[in-house]
Each structure stands twice: as structure tokens, then as C-alpha cells.
């Protein structure tokens, strides 16, 4: 293997680790805000404690998110020096703004964490969350616009290898940006809600009947349902976007070879050596419907795209994983909501709780699959139409050494995070914290 492949693997590794923490980084602030607001509004100490405990765990994931984010930012220049040299002239603006947005978020998160009892008016402390939520969403927006630019570059003219007529804002607001940013935000909120729901469901599954966990589960599942639907709607728009601007990516995801109308949606299956699709589920007209909202709409197939620009066909599976999990989780949260509002006992069964516990990890797998789909699906390009991944990569022969070093680092970080988070919450269970709060209030009353 050469340095190009190792650069790709190392980037994939860093991104795959970072995206876990980035997703939580975008999602958790909004959950804390909702819980904190409910707590203040209803004078409910359970919700306040929920906000407090989520915030405490959040700091750990933010810390790992910061360091893996620094890693990916530096690796862009270390592994893709030619690409950064070229693209730096076009997308430095959102990269720079992302740093500001994150800084803004980090400052206020720090203040929020350390000032739980420092303000006389508790609402003031609550308002500190606004910059945290805003900062995290903005940093997701800016960084996603860079990724969108790699898919649909614009805002410049290339004449004899020279960049002219550069318009940074046009580059930033490229065609891929709106759907991508919306998809990243909604799916991050959705995934975070499921991850937090998993935790609550786990406690209930373990036989803990505390009101706190029931409230946590009901709240997070409702939020999860809202954002699952939002994610599905945005996902549909993303499909329509792909058909128009990156038909090869959609065609590869769908194993769609012939350009034709009445195109079926292909799910699962395997591909033979002669590119025949076997054992797949075909939903007639569905792909045409998805793309054109019309069963007869013509969808471009891979055979109309030069072979050297075909993305790897494995992206079909990434796409399937993402969509399947997305649909499953929407159904699960919808069912939970129906059952809760009608008092069906089925959601209290052991089996259903196991399904709920699985929802968080599943959502995270969908996030990973989604990123693999979009990144592998852009191949062979690093900047579609202008620079291939091979042209952008470093020629240093030592990338493999760094791959091993970073793999070890990430293993240490992941294990460390898991151990610290479990220990942190096991040592200080909800019941004990609530008792402590009650004691304090009693002593104040005296």
C-alpha cells in the first residue's frame, strides 16, 4: 500500500472517532437546554438534575472532541498538503469562522459549568446556554460547508492552473451546503436524543424505578421522534440534491447502472463480478419517486459516467445501513410515543427496553455509515472535478507509522472515555444526589 491509501485510512480513522464526539458535541447542548428550561419552568428538580448530570458527562466528550478535532484539523494539512494548499485559497473563510464559533461555545460552556450556584437569579445562569447551543450549531454549519465544498466546489475560475475570480462566500454557500448542514444538524440532535434515551432505558432495564429515569426516557424519546422525522425529510432532500449535482454518488449508492425512468429502489443484496445485483429487495418506481417525485422520472445510471469516476460500489451498504437504521428508529420512537400517550403496557416490557437501549448505539452506527457513504462516495475526488484524492495526498513514506500511532491513541481515548464516564455516574448515582439536594434544602429551611 502507498501513502495515498494510508492517508485515506488515517483520515477515515480520525473522522470516524471524531464524529462520535462531534455529534454529541452538537446535540447535547440542546438537550441540556430543554431539560434545564423544563426544570426552571416546572420547578422540577429532576429535570434540573438531568441538565446538571448531562452537562457533567458532556464535558468529558467535549474534551475528547476538542483533541480529536485538533487532530483532524492538523491532519488535513499533514496528510493532504496539496489539497490544503489549493483549497485553502477558497475555503479558509469557513475554516477560520469555525474556530471562532467553537471558541465562543467553549468559553460559555466553561462559564456554565462552574457557575451553577453563583448567580442570584437562576435564569441568568440558564441564558449562558444560548451561546453554547448557538456556537455548537454554527461550528457544525461552518465545517460542514467545507465538506460540502469538496463535493460541489464553486466560487472561483480555474484558468491554466491559476485560480482567479475567487468569491469566498459563493464557495461557502455551495449547492451541497444547505442539505448537508441540515442533515448534519438534525441527525446530530436525533442521535444524541437516542443516546441519552439509551442510558435512561438501561437504568429502567436494570430494575431502577426512579421517576428521574422515566422522565428522562420520555423526554429524550419525544425529542428523538421529532428529529427522526426532520432527519428523514432532510434525507429526502439530500437524495434529490445528489441526483442533480452528484448523480454518480446516488447511482453508486443504489447500484443503478442504466439511465432509465421507472427506476426501482434497490435495498441490500450482493453484486456479482459482472455487476449483476442479486438477492436484493427492489421497490418498483421508488428511486424515480425519491428523486423526481414522479414514478417515471429518469435517473442517471453509472453506465453513463466514465468508469474512472465511479465511486466504490461498497457505498451501497453504507447507504443501506444508514437508511435502515433511520427508518427503524423513526418507527421505534413513533411507537413509543403512541404507547405512552395511550398507556400501552408493552413499552414497559423487558424486550422493548432492550430495543430502547440499542437505539443509541444504532443511531451512532448510522452516523458513521452516513459519513463513510458521503466520503467514500466522493471518490476518486477529494475536490470533485478539480483534484483527485491521489493528487491531494502527501508523498511522505511514513504515513503507515502514524496510522498505527493514532490507532493506539484512539483506542486509549475511547477506553478512557468509557471508563471515566461509567465510573463518574456509578460513583454518584441519581438517588444519592437527590438526597443530598433534599438535605441541603432542609438545612436552608431550618
Q: Which residue in 154, 168, 214, 309 binds other proteins (CB under 8 A)?
A: 168
Instruction: Kindly report whether the peptide bond that precedes residue 208 is cis, defined as omega within 30 degrees of 0.
Output: no
Q: Does 390 bind other proteins (CB under 8 A)?
A: no
Q: Does 167 bind other proteins (CB under 8 A)?
A: yes
Smallest gap from residue 106 Cβ to other proteins (A): 4
**360 CB-near residues (< 8 Å, 6+ apart):** 191, 194, 195, 196, 197, 198, 199
Smallest gap from residue 75 Cβ to other proteins (A): 8
Q: Does 99 bind other proteins (CB under 8 A)?
A: yes
- Choose the binding region for other proteins from 81-89, 174-182, 344-352, 381-389 (rule: CB under 8 A): 81-89
Cα 128 to Cα 134: distance, rounded to the nearest angstrom: 11
Backbone angles phi, psi at 379, to 5 degrees: -60, 150
Smallest gap from residue 431 Cβ to other proteins (A): 20
Smallest gap from residue 203 Cβ to other proteins (A): 20
| CB of 326 closer than 8 Å to CB of 364 | no
Give the bridge partners for 164, in sequence order. 157
Q: Which residue in 2, 96, 206, 441 binds other proteins (CB under 8 A)?
A: 96
Of 322, 327, 332, 333, nearest in space to 364 by CA: 322
Q: Which is nearer to other proteins, 338 or 412 (CB)?
A: 412
Cα 234 to Cα 249: distance, rounded to the nearest angstrom: 17
Q: Which is nearer to other proteins, 16 or 259 (CB)?
A: 16
Q: What's the DSSP call for residue 173?
A: T
Which residues, 394 to 423, sit near other proteins by CB under 8 A?
394-396, 398-399, 401-402, 405-406, 409, 412-413, 416-417, 420-421, 423
Q: Does 385 bind other proteins (CB under 8 A)?
A: no
Residues in the chain: 446
Q: Does 90 bind other proteins (CB under 8 A)?
A: yes
- Choose the binding region for other proteins from 103-111, 254-262, 333-341, 380-388 (rule: CB under 8 A): 103-111
Smallest gap from residue 368 Cβ to other proteins (A): 20
The residue count for binding other proteins (CB under 8 A) is 71
Q: Does 430 bind other proteins (CB under 8 A)?
A: no
**432 CB-near residues (< 8 Å, 6+ apart):** none
Smallest gap from residue 299 Cβ to other proteins (A): 38
Q: Which is nearer to other proteins, 100 or 268 (CB)?
A: 100
Q: Which is nearer to other proteins, 57 or 370 (CB)?
A: 57
Which residues, 19 to 78, sit near other proteins by CB under 8 A?
56, 59-60, 62-64, 66-68, 70-71, 73-75, 77-78
Instruction: Kindly report whether the peptide bond that precedes residue 380 is cis, defined as omega within 30 degrees of 0.
Output: yes
Cα 370 to Cα 253: distance, rounded to the nearest angstrom: 11
Of 24, 320, 316, 438, nearest in space to 199 by CA: 24
Of 309, 171, 177, 190, nearest in space to 238 by CA: 177
Smallest gap from residue 145 Cβ to other proteins (A): 14
Which helix (H) or strand (E) segment is 51 a member of?
helix 45-79
Of 386, 399, 239, 200, nearest in space to 309 by CA: 386
Q: Does 429 bind other proteins (CB under 8 A)?
A: no
Q: Which residue in 12, 13, 38, 84 binds other proteins (CB under 8 A)?
A: 84
Which residues, 104 to 163, sit near other proteins by CB under 8 A?
104, 106-111, 114-115, 117-118, 131, 163
**373 CB-near residues (< 8 Å, 6+ apart):** 253, 315, 318, 319, 322
Q: Does 424 bind other proteins (CB under 8 A)?
A: yes
Smallest gap from residue 243 Cβ to other proteins (A): 32
- Cα Rg of the chain, angstroms: 24
Amino acid at each position: 500500500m502507498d501513502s495515498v491509501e494510508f492517508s485515506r485510512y488515517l483520515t477515515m480513522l480520525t473522522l470516524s472517532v471524531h464524529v462520535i464526539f462531534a455529534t454529541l458535541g452538537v446535540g447535547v447542548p440542546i438537550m441540556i437546554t430543554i431539560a434545564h428550561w423544563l426544570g426552571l419552568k416546572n420547578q422540577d428538580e429532576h429535570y434540573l438534575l438531568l441538565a446538571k448530570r448531562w452537562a457533567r458527562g458532556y464535558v468529558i466528550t467535549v474534551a475528547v472532541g476538542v483533541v480529536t478535532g485538533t487532530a483532524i484539523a492538523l491532519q488535513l494539512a499533514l496528510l493532504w498538503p496539496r489539497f490544503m494548499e489549493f483549497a485553502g485559497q477558497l475555503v479558509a473563510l469557513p475554516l477560520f469562522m469555525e474556530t471562532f464559533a467553537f471558541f465562543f461555545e467553549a468559553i460559555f460552556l466553561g462559564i456554565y459549568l462552574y457557575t451553577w450556584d453563583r448567580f442570584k437569579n437562576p435564569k441568568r445562569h440558564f441564558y449562558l446556554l444560548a451561546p453554547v447551543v448557538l456556537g455548537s450549531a454554527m461550528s457544525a454549519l461552518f465545517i460542514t460547508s467545507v465538506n460540502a465544498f469538496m463535493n460541489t466546489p464553486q466560487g472561483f475560475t480555474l484558468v491554466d492552473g491559476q485560480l482567479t475570480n475567487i468569491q469566498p462566500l459563493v464557495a461557502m454557500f455551495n449547492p451541497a451546503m444547505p442539505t448537508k448542514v441540515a442533515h448534519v444538524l438534525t441527525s446530530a440532535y436525533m442521535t444524541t436524543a437516542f443516546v441519552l434515551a439509551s442510558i435512561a432505558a438501561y437504568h429502567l432495564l436494570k430494575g431502577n424505578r426512579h421517576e428521574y429515569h422515566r422522565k428522562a426516557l420520555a423526554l429524550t424519546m419525544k425529542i428523538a421522534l421529532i428529529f427522526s422525522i426532520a432527519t428523514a425529510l432532510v434525507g429526502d432532500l439530500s437524495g434529490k440534491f445528489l441526483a442533480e449535482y452528484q448523480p454518480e454518488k446516488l447511482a453508486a449508492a443504489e447500484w443503478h447502472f442504466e439511465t432509465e425512468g421507472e427506476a426501482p429502489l434497490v435495498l441490500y443484496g450482493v453484486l456479482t463480478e459482472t455487476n449483476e445485483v442479486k438477492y436484493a429487495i427492489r421497490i418498483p418506481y421508488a428511486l424515480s419517486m425519491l428523486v423526481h417525485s414522479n414514478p417515471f422520472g429518469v435517473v442517471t445510471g453509472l453506465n453513463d459516467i466514465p468508469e474512472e469516476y465511479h465511486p466504490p460500489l461498497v457505498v451501497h451498504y453504507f447507504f443501506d445501513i444508514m437508511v435502515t437504521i433511520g427508518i427503524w428508529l423513526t418507527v421505534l420512537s413513533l411507537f413509543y410515543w403512541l404507547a405512552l400517550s395511550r398507556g400501552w403496557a408493552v413499552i414497559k416490557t423487558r424486550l422493548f427496553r432492550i430495543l430502547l437501549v440499542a437505539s443509541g448505539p444504532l443511531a451512532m452506527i448510522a452516523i458513521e455509515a452516513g459519513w463513510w457513504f458521503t466520503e467514500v462516495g466522493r471518490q476518486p475526488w477529494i475536490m470533485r472535478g478539480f483534484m483527485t484524492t491521489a493528487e491531494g495526498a502527501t508523498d511522505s513514506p511514513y504515513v503507515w507509522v502514524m496510522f498505527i500511532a493514532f490507532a493506539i491513541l484512539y483506542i486509549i481515548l475511547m477506553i478512557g472515555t468509557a471508563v471515566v464516564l461509567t465510573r463518574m455516574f456509578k460513583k454518584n448515582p441519581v438517588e444519592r444526589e437527590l438526597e443530598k439536594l433534599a438535605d441541603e434544602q432542609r438545612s436552608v429551611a431550618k
